[in-house]
Amino acid sequence: MRITLRMKALEPISVGYESIGIETLLYSLPIVKEDGIAIEVPIIPGNSLRGVLRDEMAMQFLEDVKAKLTEKCSEKGDKQLKVHIGTLLSMFSGGILSGEDTEDRTLDITDVMNNYVYPLLPLSIMGVALKKVIIPGKLKVGIGYPLTEETKDLLADLGVNPEKKVPPLSEILSSVLITRKDDTAKVMQLKELIAEIEGKPEDVKADDSAIQQRLYRQVVVPGTIFYSYIEDVIPMTDAEWGLVLKTLKRLNRVGGRVAGGLGKIKVDVEGVSDENSYIKSYEKFIYNNIENISKALKTDPNSFFKKDSKSKKSAKG
């Protein structure tokens, strides 16, 4: 299945690529127009969208598991959601590739898939690394292209029906000023609140520190429409699609400087007929498999690697 994401910028969007002096440039990609001329277009990289989606998906899954765990254990049992740190990091970061020597260890991939990956849908959907073993994800996230006069033909070829009136590329680009100020005077006035402030300002400040620092970031202006897509490169279950669709309802940010007032977006999903049926399949999966999910969440991913007795004996021989 393939779904289209229509993302409207509600705040300036700044997916930074590199900094030149005091300015952070937008992540841009050259594209060739119908007339054969190549131009630079600011994009939302598929990997950036995928990273935000992974984080939100992990949060959504953990919240839903906790809700179902509380519901099923309302009369008796442990209501606490317990998760091993290794599994938690795997859900948010995709696991960690390790250079550790695993030649004398074996991995039962069937055991890993059945008792760990399949119950934990974020890992099943997005993939996970277990030491030197990579279990691939099922989901592909496309590049987000802005809807402009210069890109509408490309978007049409990607299956998007662009709006009739769209802005030229030059009108969606701008920059914002970011300031960082020296609060030395402010903190030194807190002596009425704090009995003693240890140290002197000069002890923590560089000799060339600025009183007020000005930085600039290139941005795409609010109101700009981006289009991307999500499709399964390995067929996904209805429950897995349900988690993806439910997660997209809460996805509302992308790019850098989110805490500073940038990056807010509104996501609309196109190309799925009955969204609620997929979400119900996902919620049913959680309810029916809550025990296996709880067990998998508490599992140390490294525990799947076991000493290979045959390799050990051959090494001694």
* Structure confidence by residue, pLDDT tens digits, 6-22: 999 999 998 876 666 66
pLDDT of 293 strictly over 80: yes
Quickly list DSSP for 159-215. T----SS---GGGGEEEEEEEEE--HHHHHGGGGTSS---S-HHHHS-TT--SEEEE
pLDDT of 204 strictly over 70: no
Model pLDDT, residue 306: 66
Q: How many CA atoms lie within 13 A of 101 on its CB side?
A: 3
Q: Which residue has the tokens 């807010």?
A: 264
Model pLDDT, residue 248: 97
Give the whole-angstrom CA distance, residue 293 versus residue 158.
38
Model pLDDT, residue 206: 57
Question: What does the mean pLDDT of the chain come to?
Answer: 84
Q: Residue 144: what residue type?
A: G
Q: What are phi and psi of 159, to 5 degrees?
A: 95, 10
